Every structure is written in structure tokens, then in C-alpha cells.
């Protein structure tokens, strides 16, 4: 076994996260430390991509805040993340939907998957 993989597996704790992909709308609840206080903050948006695998995986979430697009990259195994909730499943044909950045308003909507 590769030494780097051995160290990663021994140091990083496995977390149970829900199954989601690009195009899904998720709410990420993460902890913020301000001075000596700690609180939880929500970040709800569309997943643009999933990158990496296992311990080093990350995902990018985009939302529109006061008319400005905001993107944030989260590591999946971060201890700062309390939980991830999948709100809607989207129908997209690509694994990375960066084309969403140039759309605004109704054009930026993603079709919801029917169950």
C-alpha cells in the first residue's frame, strides 16, 4: 500500500454524507468560530461539481446572494461541516456545470428530477 494513502486513511475519519451530484440543490450546515463563540451557518445552493475521491474529495456549491453569485468549495470530510441535506435532485447532462455561471434569473433554473 502506498504510504500517502496509509497516512490519509489513518488520520482522516470517515463521515457519512448523503449521495448527491452536480445539479442537485443542497444545504450545507457548517460551524463558524467568531472569537470565543461558535455557531452554525447554512449555505444553500446548486452543486456545480464533485472533485477528488474518498478522503480528499471536495464539492463546489453556488448560490445567488443579493444579486451576486457566490461559490464556496467544501471538503467532504471537513470536521467543520455539521451536516449536508439534499433539497432537490436536478437533471443535468454534465459532471461539471460551470455554464451556469453566465446565466441569471429564470435561465439559471435546473429541471427537477421526477421520482
Domain limits, the chain: 21-101
Helix (H), strand (E), coil (C) string for 48-88: EEEECCHHHCEEEEEEEECCEEEEEEEECCCCCEEEEEEEE
Predicted confidence (pLDDT) per residue in 27-68, tens digit = 999 999 999 999 999 999 999 999 998 778 999 999 999 989
pLDDT digits (tens, 9 = 90+) for 7-33: 877 777 777 889 999 999 999 999 999
Report if pTM > 0.75: yes
- pLDDT(1) > 70: no
Structure confidence at residue 94 (pLDDT): 92
Instruction: Give 21-101's CATH code, choosing from 3.40.1190.20, 2.120.10.30, 3.40.50.2300, 2.30.30.790.
Output: 2.30.30.790
Amino acid at each position: 500500500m502506498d504510504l500517502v494513502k496509509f497516512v490519509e486513511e489513518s488520520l482522516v475519519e470517515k463521515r457519512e454524507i448523503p449521495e448527491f451530484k452536480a445539479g442537485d440543490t443542497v444545504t450545507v450546515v457548517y460551524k463558524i468560530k467568531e472569537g470565543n463563540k461558535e455557531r452554525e451557518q447554512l449555505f444553500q445552493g446548486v452543486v456545480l461539481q464533485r472533485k477528488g475521491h474518498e478522503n480528499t474529495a471536495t464539492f463546489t456549491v453556488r448560490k445567488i446572494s443579493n444579486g451576486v453569485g457566490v461559490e464556496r468549495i467544501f471538503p467532504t470530510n471537513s470536521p467543520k461541516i455539521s451536516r449536508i441535506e439534499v433539497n432537490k435532485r436536478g437533471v443535468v447532462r454534465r459532471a461539471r456545470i460551470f455554464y451556469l455561471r453566465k446565466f441569471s434569473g429564470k435561465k439559471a433554473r435546473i429541471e427537477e428530477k421526477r421520482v
